[in-house]
């Protein structure tokens, strides 16, 4: 297992189009996070999963955003009707959540540019 993998690494799309990103976490990790990061800011929480259950979705996230983690394995993040303000780096992280919580491992991110 080589770590958290995100695809694609870069995505340029026209405003109004839908985009989907994929995240493959470390296989034994039960927790998966999605974050959005813009220049000069820290990762902003979007949503997270414990196994296949989506436990929380940020209130800042509009209903154009949806995430899934079927069977508790890989996850997808879809943005519908993209807007220029959606341009950012989208980061996925996974961790093993247990009695002694451990660190999160991040993927390289998907950089989205909406033109």
Partner 1 sequence: SQKIEQNSEALNIQEGKTATLTCNYTNYSPAYLQWYRQDPGRGPVFLLLIRENEKEKRKERLKVTFDTTLKQSLFHITASQPADSATYLCAFLHGSGNTGKLIFGQGTTLQVKP
Q: Which residues bind partner 1 (CB under 8 A)?
A: 4, 33, 35, 40-45, 48, 50, 55-56, 91, 93, 95, 97, 101-109, 111
Q: How far is the CB of 82 from partner 1 (least distance, A)?
A: 21
Closer to partner 1 at the Cβ: 53 or 70? 53
Structure letter (DSSP) for residue 85? G
Residue 58 has which token pair?
A: 């940020």
**Nearest CB to partner 1, comparing residues 42 and 70:** 42
* Least distance between partner 1 and beta carbon 37 (Å): 9
Cβ nearer to partner 1, comparing 4 with 79: 4
CA R_g for the chain: 14
Cα–Cα separations (whole angstroms), residue 70 to 9, 12, 23, 34: 22, 26, 12, 15
Identity of the residue, 13 or 54, whose beta carbon is nearer to partner 1 in the bound complex: 54
Query: Cα 53–107–96 angle (5° rounding)?
Result: 45
For 86, phi then psi, to 5°, come to -80, -10
* Minimum distance of partner 1 from residue 81's CB (angstroms): 26
């Amino acid at each position: 297992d080589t770590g958290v993998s995100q695809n694609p690494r870069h995505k340029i799309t026209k405003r109004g189009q839908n985009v989907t990103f994929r995240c493959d976490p470390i296989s034994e990790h039960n927790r998966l996070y999605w974050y959005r990061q813009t220049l000069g800011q820290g990762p902003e929480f979007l949503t997270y999963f414990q196994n296949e259950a989506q436990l929380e979705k940020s209130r800042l996230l509009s209903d154009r955003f949806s995430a899934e983690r079927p069977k508790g394995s890989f996850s997808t993040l879809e943005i519908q009707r993209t807007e220029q303000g959606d341009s950012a780096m989208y980061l996925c992280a996974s961790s093993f959540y247990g009695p002694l919580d451990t660190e999160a491992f991040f993927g390289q991110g998907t950089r989205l540019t909406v033109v």
